[in-house]
Amino acid sequence: MNTDDEKISSLYHEADKPAPSKRLDDAILAASRDAVDTPAATKGPFSGSWPAAASIAAVVVITIILVPVLKQQEPQPALTQATSEKSSSLDVPDETGLNAYRSTEVKKKSMDAPSPASAPAMLYEESDFSAYQVMPERSGASSSAVTSPAVGAASPLEKEEMHIESDASDMERSRMQAADSAPFAILTPEMWQVKISRLITEGKIDDAQAEIEKLEKHYPEHIIDPTLLEKLN
């Protein structure tokens, strides 16, 4: 800064120096005292940092909402353990709910089945499920058999059998196909009869006869369809 600038500076500072009024001073000083007096009593631990308070509130709300939902979706530990070993042999994605359902079904069917069949009943769990897994392929084979030109040349018995099958719902048909490959112990009498009918159609009379005997043995109170017996005779 040269001397001319210093002259200007000194000239400026020699000029009048306006200042705020007393009223303005008092107002500002009063505000400064109010600010330090009031906040200590009114402000909480998160005052001045509302983002932190908002974050904590959000976490609490999300926890309250999600925990019950997750608990509902969480499988029963015993069922998971029981099914985890069995499902390991299956080459399908593990779905917890499905495994739990399967485990329940297996236990139920094991209890319903006659005692000699308890071992096969355990096998059913896998074979039944496997049957469901390959169902589209098997179903396709079955339907092609039903709708093939060979149908026209089928015997009346075959037509009757196919009629029974065609009337069954998709689910029932699937279960029949599953039963076809399943051990006998878990077959219902109706499914068993379908199997026997198929054996007769295929000309396996001896096998059909054996199945009739097994059916009578396991379901002594069940009345076998007379038409089946007629076919055997």
Stretch that binds another protein, among 18-26, 125-133, 162-170, 213-221 (CB under 8 A): 18-26
| CA torsion, ordered 159, 154, 200, 121, to nearest 10 deg | -60
Residue 59 CB, shortest distance to another protein, in Å, is 25
State yes or no: residue 20 binds another protein (CB under 8 A). yes
Q: CA angle, 185 as apex, 183 and 191 as ends, to 5°?
A: 80
Least distance from C-beta 37 to another protein, angstroms? Answer: 8
With helix as H, strand as E and coil as C, how does 165-176 read?
HHHCCHHHHHHH
What is the closest distance, in whole angstroms, from the C-beta atom of residue 32 to another protein in the complex? 4
Closest separation between CB of residue 54 and another protein, Å? 18
Residue 11 within binding range of another protein, rule CB under 8 A? yes
**Continuous segment of H or E residues that includes residue 221:** none
Which residues are within 8 A (CB) of 181 and not within 5 positions of it... i.e. 6 or more apart?
127, 131
Q: Which of 22, 35, 171, 233 binds another protein (CB under 8 A)?
A: 35
52 in contact with another protein (CB under 8 A)? no
Residue 142: phi and psi, rounded to 5, are -65, -45
Q: Map residue 188 onto helix, strand or coil.
A: coil
For the record, the structure tokens of 213 come out as: 């005997």
Give the range of 31-39, 90-98, 119-127, 216-224 binding another protein by CB under 8 A.
31-39
Residue 5 binding another protein, by CB under 8 A: yes
Question: Based on CB atoms, which residue is closest to another protein, 18 or 77?
Answer: 18
Examine residue 22 and tell whether it contacts another protein (CB under 8 A): no
Given 38, 48, 136, 140, the residue binding another protein (CB under 8 A): 48
Q: Does the footprint of another protein cover residue 50 (CB under 8 A)?
A: no
CB 83 within 8 A of CB 100: yes
Answer yes or no whether residue 37 interacts with another protein by CB under 8 A: yes
Would you state the structure tokens that stand for residue 166, as one six-digit string? 């065609």
Decide: 201 and 209 in contact? Cβ < 8 Å: no
Tokens 């739990």 -> residue: 100
H or E element: which one contains 104?
A: helix 96-112
Q: Interface residues with another protein (CB under 8 A)?
A: 1, 4-5, 8-9, 11-21, 24-25, 27-29, 31-33, 35-37, 40, 48
